[in-house]
Amino acid sequence: MKNAIGVEIPEYIEGLGKLEPFQGVWKSIIEDEVPSTNISRTLKAKKPHASKLCKTLEEAIKKCKPFDGMTVTCHHHLRGGDGVLMKAIQILDEMGIKDITLASSSLTSAHDGLVPYVEKGMITRIFTSGIRGALGDTISVGKLKYPAIIHSHGGRVRDFLTGRIKPDLSVLAASAADEEGNATGAHGPSAFGSMGYADIDARYSRNVIVVTDNLVEYPCIPSTVRQHFIDYVVKVDSIGDATKIASGTTRITNSPMDLRIARIAATVIEHSGLFKNGMSFQVGAGGASLAVAKFLREDMKRKSIIGSFMIGGVTSYGVDMLNEGLFHSIFDVQSFDAAVSSSVLNNPNHIEISCDQYANPNNCGSMTNKLDVVVLGALEVDVDFNVNVITGSSGEIRGASGGHSDTASGANLTVVVCPSFRGRLPIVKDRVHTVVTPGESVDVIVTERGVCVNPAKPNLAAKLKEAGVKVVDIRDLKEEVEKMTGIPAEKQLGDQIVALVEYRDGTIIDVIYNVKNLS
Amino acid sequence: MLYIPGNNPAMIQQAGVYGCDAVLLDLEDAVALNQKDAARILVRNMLKTVNFYDTEVCVRVNNFHTPFGLTDLEEIVPLQPDNIRFPKTETVADVKEFMKEVRRIEKEHGIKNPSMTIHVMIETAKGVANVYDIATADPRIDAITIGGQDLTADMGIIKTPDGVGIDYARKRIVMAGKANDLDVLDTIFADVNDDEGLREETEYIKKIGFAGKALINPRQVDVVHEVFNPTENEVRKAYRVYSEYIKNKKAGIGVFAIDGKMVDAPVVQRAITVLEFAKIDLKEIEKNAG
């Protein structure tokens, strides 16, 4: 069956079940009934004054009675420094547990060590929002038993609430926790800021273990994860590499090209009609997208604009803007650098939120639905404004869906920033290799060679032209770039489906096939 | 004007997108001796293929007294970039010799109405001494520029942040340029991480009459534009001056006052300069004032 953007979707995949094709950004959420398969919380009980503390993670996992075919979940707030997920998988493997479904909110370079567990079939299913490095390569060549599911951040919450992901064991790292499992990422030697992705795991998993290198006196204040969801608590020497968990202060790029793109994007925002008091804003943490914040900051000061809130992954740059009074508040689901943690801890206007509140499509208070402007990156874009943030130039899995499609669907203005080519590779395609965010939810693509406005937004195009912005037809831009770069050779792909891209509403928007020759 | 090394294909192909008014593709100081041929071939091919959009393109060739200067001209002149820059110009004879070759090459390639103009670069004490004569040496010269790095080396001094060592040269070159209705462009600012230093220096050279500045990194473009672009208030004031000038002119009045301040021909000329910088159509103002 074909979905709304013309991708052939299998009706059923062994090990994953029946699939629903993507029908449009809001079609299944607004026009169809909300799925009625909501799960309920696990009933738990504990004797008065009994201790939850375990001497080792192994002891805690044993108490959770692991079994073959179970689902294990983790969060990715420790980023490239995570030492907890790998430890949990290693223990489960030593116990002889197999056929595991791993549902981590994202997977980073810290999880390359999962490769042998995938290869030997100990891990057979993966649900996540991002896969990179050696693990991405392993899945791309078809070594995971069942196709990986790439979901969005909001989609993960929906998957929990509809029972698509049924967590049996959640191992949640915290930079500070107490004996009852009240836990935070806001302080401690390994502080990582918001713990927003872990909230859903804590609430809905059958067994929850909090792991910390910093057991504090009861009660842990503040606490994101609360004690009445937590089964066991483990104090360990280290939850990972602190230098990779949170690295200093995020710096704005020095790349002249990224800065140029960012300057144009900020001009687009200024003339979009949304640049006014009360504006809400989200920006990514890297390259050109973060640099947009630099120019927006200057423009807001120049025009005396005060925004309402920023959301999302938060950098120290966002905290600076909050402290300067350029925004009233920050809603923080994930903190990107060490400098943010103290703001989470000390500034009442820096509000930690769960991923449920951030981006779940099936609730009535998702922050992404209140968003005015979001600036997002891209690995590829196409003439229909679809965006790929998951597969690389050979078709390999090497990126993250993250909150890309969540924010794009909700924002009044979705701006995608990318160079028109990288190295010798054109970025504007007839069709992106993998659609993560549908063009229907993308308004503007900003490149160094011009700004492409979705034809569905003629008024926006007119406003930008009037402001002197160089607006170009995306097909003309593609042609111009291909004159310089040529057209890349076809990717060498097989016929095995290695991953499915799940849109935030649970439908399948694209299918990823195995790469034959991954260099 | 953004300097781009002639042997850097990645930067050249992006030259037109940085938002600068002009780029200088450099075959001279930015290119190592063993890369001269490669740079020349690359710039030649890039001129044929790359879209620089509305960015003016200048090529700095090597001086004639090097083994590369003439070969550079043979390859570049037929392609007629917007300008060619002649470095280390010291005498009128230098210009005559250079232009003789330029015209020979244009003739050999059947270029009857050449559009390419000439920028002369003053980078030695001798050049500074002769700058008035150099500025008038050929009608195709439309800009004159100072090379601060080479000039301080030639003078045996260190280039200091306050620029005091080249201040006389700067002012002399500006006067030579202004006297001959040429654009005068300032030297580079070497510290790409010092935006405030760049801003201060640009504000200074604007005050003493330069029309623009050489840049070595695209990140410097915005700072220089911010200094040279008139502010909203300046534009409003200039608009009012020019508008009142048109009204008074029709009434046969040459000198008048706005808010108690005298407006005469030089004030009007400065207002026109501001409006031109701001790309405001003078005819539209004339129509509205009428």
Q: What is the pLDDT of residues B204-257, one digit of tens each?
A: 999 999 999 999 999 999 999 999 998 888 999 999 999 999 999 988 898 999
Minimum Cα–Cα distance from B218: chain A residue: A256
Give the range of the structural domain holding residue B267, as residue numbers without chain letter: 232-289
Residue-wise DSSP of B89-124? --SHHHHHHHHHHHHHHHHHTT-SS---EEEEEE-S
pLDDT at position A311 is 96
The pLDDT of residue A312 is above 90: no
Provide the CATH number for the domain around residue B83.
Answer: 3.20.20.60
pLDDT at position A339 is 82
Shortest Cα distance from A449 to chain B (angstroms)? Answer: 6
Minimum Cα–Cα distance from A421: chain B residue: B14
A53-89 pLDDT, tens digit each: 999 999 999 999 999 999 999 999 999 999 999 999 9
Question: Which positions in chain A touch B14 (Cβ < 8 Å)?
Answer: 257, 448
- Tell which residue, A192, A163, A518, A464, has the closest CA to residue A342: A192
Say whether both B255 and B174 belong to one domain.
no
Minimum Cα–Cα distance from B52: chain A residue: A449
Interface of B with A (CB under 8 A): 13-14, 17-19, 49-51, 217-219, 222
Q: Quote the CA–CA distance of A241 and A447 in Å, as a whole number.
A: 36
- Asked if B222 lies within 8 A of A254 by C-beta distance, the reply is no
- Asked if B19 lies within 8 A of A259 by C-beta distance, the reply is no
Minimum Cα–Cα distance from A422: chain B residue: B10
Average pLDDT across chain A, whole number: 94
B69-109 pLDDT, tens digit each: 999 999 999 999 999 999 999 999 999 999 999 999 999 99
Range list of H helices, A80-227: 84-94, 115-119, 133-140, 153-162, 198-204
How many residues are there in chain A?
519
Rg, Å, chain B Cα set: 21
**Tokens representing A410?**
């909700």
pLDDT at position A484 is 87
Best B3, B17, B195, B225 member to test A by mutation, with max A CBs in 10 Å, is B17
pLDDT bucket at A41, cuts 50 / 70 / 90: confident
Interface of A with B (CB under 8 A): 254, 256-257, 259-260, 263, 448-449, 480, 484
- Asked if B17 lies within 8 A of A256 by C-beta distance, the reply is no
Minimum Cα–Cα distance from B13: chain A residue: A484
Give me the percent of chain A exceeding a pLDDT of 70. 98
- Asked if A448 lies within 8 A of B50 by C-beta distance, the reply is no
Minimum Cα–Cα distance from A447: chain B residue: B17
* Domain-ending residue, one of B228, B246, B266: B228
What mean pLDDT do residues B154-164 have?
Answer: 92
Say whether both B207 and B238 belong to one domain.
no
The most distant pair of C-alpha atoms in chain A lies apart, rounded to whole Å, by 73
What are the structural domains of chain A?
A: 52-244 (3.40.1080.10), 256-493 (3.40.1080.10)
Q: HEC states along A237-283?
A: CCCECHHHHCCCCCCCCCCHHHHHHHHHHHHHHHCCCCCCCCCCEEE
Question: Which positions in chain B touch A256 (Cβ < 8 Å)?
Answer: 18, 217-219
Angstrom distances, CA of residue A316 to CA of A207, A251, A320, B48, B65: 34, 9, 6, 45, 54
**Tokens representing A6?**
């013309």
- Asked if A256 lies within 8 A of B13 by C-beta distance, the reply is no
What mean pLDDT do residues A39-49 have?
Answer: 88
Question: Which positions in chain A touch B217 (Cβ < 8 Å)?
Answer: 256
Identity of the residue in A254, A263, A448 whose CB atom sits nearest the CB atom of B222: A263
pLDDT at position B235 is 92
Check whether the bond before A458 is cis (ω within 30° of 0).
no
Dihedral sign for Cα A213, A218, A221, A225, please.
Answer: positive
Say whether both B141 and B89 belong to one domain.
yes
- Asked if B50 lies within 8 A of A257 by C-beta distance, the reply is no
The pLDDT of residue A34 is above 70: no
pLDDT at position B30 is 93
Q: Quote the CA–CA distance of A453 and A450 in Å, as a whole number.
A: 10
pLDDT at position B279 is 82
Rg, Å, chain A Cα set: 22
Minimum Cα–Cα distance from B9: chain A residue: A423
pLDDT at position A517 is 76
B249-278 pLDDT, tens digit each: 988 898 999 999 999 999 999 999 899 888
Q: Quote the CA–CA distance of A431 and B277 in Å, as a whole number.
A: 42
Minimum Cα–Cα distance from B53: chain A residue: A449
Shortest Cα distance from A133 to chain B (angstroms)? Answer: 27
How many residues are there in chain B?
290
pLDDT at position A35 is 61
pLDDT at position B205 is 97
Question: Which positions in chain B touch A263 (Cβ < 8 Å)?
Answer: 19, 222
Best A304, A449, A479 member to test B by mutation, with max B CBs in 10 Å, is A449
Minimum Cα–Cα distance from A254: chain B residue: B219
Q: Quote the CA–CA distance of B97 and B93 in Å, as a whole number.
A: 6
- Classify B217 as helix, strand or coil: coil
A435-449 pLDDT, tens digit each: 999 999 999 999 999
- Asked if A260 lies within 8 A of B51 by C-beta distance, the reply is no
Question: Which positions in chain A touch B49 (Cβ < 8 Å)?
Answer: 484
Spatial contact of B84 and B58, defined as CB atoms under 8 Å apart: yes
Question: Which positions in chain B touch A259 (Cβ < 8 Å)?
Answer: 218-219
Question: Which positions in chain B touch A480 (Cβ < 8 Å)?
Answer: 51
The residue among A306 and B250 whose pLDDT is bigger is A306
- Asked if A256 lies within 8 A of B19 by C-beta distance, the reply is no
- Asked if B13 lies within 8 A of A257 by C-beta distance, the reply is no
- Asked if B17 lies within 8 A of A260 by C-beta distance, the reply is yes
B3-48 pLDDT, tens digit each: 999 999 989 999 999 999 999 999 999 999 999 999 999 999 999 9
Minimum Cα–Cα distance from A259: chain B residue: B219
Q: Quote the CA–CA distance of A107 and A205 in Å, as a whole number.
A: 19
Spatial contact of A441 and A475, defined as CB atoms under 8 Å apart: no
Q: Quote the CA–CA distance of B139 and B137 in Å, as a whole number.
A: 7
Say whether both B207 and B122 belong to one domain.
yes
Say whether both B121 and B255 belong to one domain.
no
- Put residue B231 in one of left, alpha, beta given phi > 0 → left and psi -120 to 50 → alpha: beta
Say whether both B145 and B17 belong to one domain.
yes
A321-361 pLDDT, tens digit each: 999 999 999 999 999 888 899 999 999 999 999 999 999 99
Residues in contact with A415: Cβ distance below 8 Å, sequence separation at least 6, in sequence order: A265, A268, A269, A292, A373, A374, A375, A376, A443, A444, A445, A446
Say whether both B217 and B236 belong to one domain.
no
Identity of the residue in B13, B19, B222 whose CB atom sits nearest the CB atom of A484: B13
Identity of the residue in B13, B51, B218 whose CB atom sits nearest the CB atom of A256: B218
Identity of the residue in A254, A260, A484 whose CB atom sits nearest the CB atom of B18: A260
Shortest Cα distance from A448 to chain B (angstroms)? Answer: 6
Best A251, A255, A427, A448 member to test B by mutation, with max B CBs in 10 Å, is A448
- Classify B215 as helix, strand or coil: strand
Q: How far is CA B26 from the centre of its chain?
A: 14
Shortest Cα distance from B235 to chain A (angstroms)? Answer: 17
* Domain-ending residue, one of B182, B197, B228: B228
Say whether both B143 and B239 belong to one domain.
no
Residues in contact with A146: Cβ distance below 8 Å, sequence separation at least 6, in sequence order: A13, A14, A15, A16, A124, A125
A416-438 pLDDT, tens digit each: 999 999 988 999 999 999 999 99
User: How many structural domains comprise chain B?
Assistant: 2
Minimum Cα–Cα distance from A255: chain B residue: B219
Spatial contact of B183 and B143, defined as CB atoms under 8 Å apart: yes
Q: Quote the CA–CA distance of A270 and A275 in Å, as a whole number.
A: 5
Question: Which positions in chain A touch B218 (Cβ < 8 Å)?
Answer: 256-257, 259-260
Measured between its terminal Cα atoms, the distance across chain A in Å is 33
Q: HEC states along B159-199?
A: CCCCCHHHHHHHHHHHHHHHHCCCEEEECCCCCCCCHHHHH
* Domain-ending residue, one of B197, B228, B259: B228
Say whether both B13 and B155 belong to one domain.
yes
Say whether both B272 and B203 belong to one domain.
no
Spatial contact of A496 and A401, defined as CB atoms under 8 Å apart: no
- Asked if A260 lies within 8 A of B218 by C-beta distance, the reply is yes
pLDDT at position B288 is 86
Minimum Cα–Cα distance from B48: chain A residue: A484
- Asked if B218 lies within 8 A of A259 by C-beta distance, the reply is yes
- Asked if A260 lies within 8 A of B50 by C-beta distance, the reply is no
B167-191 pLDDT, tens digit each: 999 999 999 999 999 999 999 999 9
Question: Which positions in chain A touch B224 (Cβ < 8 Å)?
Answer: none
Say whether both B201 and B275 belong to one domain.
no
- Asked if A448 lies within 8 A of B14 by C-beta distance, the reply is yes
Say whether both B200 and B81 belong to one domain.
yes
Chain pair A-B, CB pairs under 8 angstroms: 23
The pLDDT of residue A38 is above 70: no
- Asked if A256 lies within 8 A of B217 by C-beta distance, the reply is yes
Question: Which positions in chain A touch B17 (Cβ < 8 Å)?
Answer: 257, 260, 448-449
The pairing of beta strand A380-382 with beta strand A428-429: parallel
Question: Which positions in chain A touch B50 (Cβ < 8 Å)?
Answer: 484
Best B2, B3, B14 member to test A by mutation, with max A CBs in 10 Å, is B14
Give me the percent of chain B exceeding a pLDDT of 90. 87
